[in-house]
A and B are shown apart, each in its own frame.
Chain A
Amino acid sequence: MERSTGGVVWWGETGEFIQVNNTHCDGCGDCLRVCLGGCFALREGKAVVINLESCMECAACWYACEKGAVLYGLPKGGTGFATEYG
Chain B
Amino acid sequence: MKADPQNVLVGAHYLDGNHACGEGGIAAGCKFFAGYPITPSTEIAERVSRRFPLIGGVFVQMEDELASMNAILGASWGGKKSMTCTSGPGFSLMMENFGLGLMLETPCVLVNVQRGGPSTGLPTLPGQADMMQARWGSHGDYEVIALAPDSPQESFELTIHAFNLSEKYRMPVLIMTDECVGHMTEKVVIPPPEEIELVERKYSDVPPGEAWPYMEFDGEVSPMLPVGEGHKFHITGLTHDIRGYPVINSEAQHLNTRHLIDKVKKHADDIIWLEEKDIDGADVVVMAYGISSRVMQPAIAKAKKEGIKVGQIKMVTVWPFPEKRVKELAEKVKAMIMVEMNWGQVYLEMERCIAGKCEAHLIGHGGGTVHNPEDIYNTIKEAVK
B partners with A: no
Query: A residues bordering B, Cβ < 8 Å?
Result: none
Query: B residues bordering A, Cβ < 8 Å?
Result: none
